[in-house]
């Protein structure tokens, strides 16, 4: 299909993945699959307790994807030990996959990170990370799904996102 034949609402990241938000029926199906804790974090902008996330110690090669819609967000190669109690990453898979939103809750100013496709809350980004990016994407484990290298990416929306 040529660009002129593409739907008017088609939107892709620089890496070629579909960023069109889920429609109402797709969103309902995605949200129905979430646990109560996942709903609290992803949909209500919550935070899991530090040092309890299941992905904190994950060190295998692969990709960390949005738990809600499956969009690849962070590569394992960019994960580092920050000592904060949450998985930390120095950069996203593709800058188009993460949306930054000013967050003034809890008496401070921070930058919230959300999935660019489904708008689910992931965590926050800070400027105290390692070089060269100096970024620390502090992300809730419950907001992510780890996909080992060479494994098919989750594709709950049927968009053919590929292999990690």
E strand spans, the chain: 62-66, 72-75, 79-80, 88-89, 98-103, 110-115, 121-126, 136-139, 144-148
**3-state secondary structure labels for all residues of 30-70:** HHHCCCHHHHHHHCCCCCCCCCCCCCCCCCCCEEEEECCCC
pLDDT at 4: 41
Task: Look up the pTM and report it.
Answer: 0.90
* pLDDT tens figures, 133-157: 999 999 999 999 999 999 999 999 9
Whether domain 10-148 has CATH 2.170.150.20: yes
Q: Catalytic residues, which ones?
A: 138
pLDDT at 9: 59
* pLDDT tens figures, 67-91: 999 999 999 999 999 999 999 999 9
Domain boundaries along the sequence of the chain: 10-148
pLDDT at 11: 86
Instruction: Return all residues near 62 (Cβ < 8 A) that are at least 6 apart.
Output: 75, 76, 146, 147, 148, 149, 151, 164
Per-residue tokens: 125: 């980004």
């Amino acid at each position: 299909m040529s660009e002129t034949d593409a739907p008017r609402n088609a939107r892709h990241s620089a890496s070629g993945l579909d960023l069109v938000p889920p429609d109402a029926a797709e969103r309902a199906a995605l949200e129905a699959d979430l646990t109560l804790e996942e709903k609290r974090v992803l949909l209500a902008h919550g935070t899991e307790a530090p040092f309890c996330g299941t992905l904190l110690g994950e060190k295998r090669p692969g990709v960390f994807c949005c738990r809600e819609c499956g969009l690849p967000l962070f590569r394992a190669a960019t994960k580092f030990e920050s000592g904060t109690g949450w998985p930390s990453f120095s950069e996203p898979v593709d800058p188009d996959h993460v949306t930054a939103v000013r967050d003034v809750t809890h008496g401070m100013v921070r930058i919230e990170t959300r999935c660019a496709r489904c708008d689910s809350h992931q965590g926050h980004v800070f400027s105290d990370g390692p070089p060269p990016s100096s970024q620390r994407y502090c992300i809730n484990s419950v907001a992510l799904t780890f996909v080992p290298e060479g494994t098919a990416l989750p594709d709950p929306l049927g968009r053919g996102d590929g292999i990690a």
